[in-house]
Amino acid sequence: MNQLSHYDKSGRARMVDVSDKPPTARTARAEAFVRMKPAVLDALPRNPKGDPLEVARIAGIQAAKRTASLIPLCHPLPLTHADVSASIEPRGVRIVATASTTAQTGVEMEALTAAAVAALTVYDMTKALDKSITIDKIRLLEKTGGKSGHYRRNRA
């Protein structure tokens, strides 16, 4: 089993030194699901604050770019691409975020942060209609590049 890399030999949290790692092309895709009642879904196009899905998309992209400011031991990365899509499904809104870079470490945290913040933005823009909205399954779907190679989650 792999060891946790964010701890030194004495057990103190540390930022991982990636100086010796070669830059490689890396991508990540993550999702979150905002579960809401049908009445809230029906009201999305008439939201007085604006289109919640478009605002969430922009919020997610901004979050991907700010991940190192939010996650204490995360490396700041030069993103070459970040995008977020939001689609309406029968039980809520599915958020899918992608991030890409050519760097010494991966972009999983950027994709996950983008998905989480986009989902929180949908909640923020719809909470006046229903406080019982939930955010489910914030998770990595796929990542490429780096020493650990390709990973793809089964959709179950």
CB 146 within 8 A of CB 24: yes
**Pick among 3.30.70.640, 3.30.67.10, 3.40.640.10, 3.60.15.10: CATH of 24-145:** 3.30.70.640
Cα–Cα distance between 79 and 94 in angstroms, integer?
23
**Domain residue spans in the chain?**
24-145
Which residue in 20, 124, 130, 136 is the catalytic one?
Answer: 124
- The kind and range of the H/E element at 62 are helix 52-65
Q: Which residues face 135 on adjacent strands?
A: 34
Q: What percent of the chain has pLDDT over 90?
A: 74
Q: Is 8 a catalytic residue?
A: no
Residues 18 and 75: beta-carbon distance below 8 Å: yes
- Interatomic CA distance for residues 76 and 66, integer angstroms: 8
Residue with token string 């809230």: 40
Q: Please choose, from the candidates 65, 73, 82, the residue with its C-alpha nearest in 3D space to the C-alpha of residue 6.
A: 73
Q: Is the pLDDT of residue 55 over 80?
A: yes
- pTM as predicted: 0.90
What would the pLDDT profile of 79-112 be if each residue is shown by its tens digit? Answer: 999 999 999 999 999 999 999 999 999 899 999 9
Mean pLDDT of 133-148: 94
| Ramachandran angles phi, psi of 146, nearest 5° | 80, 180
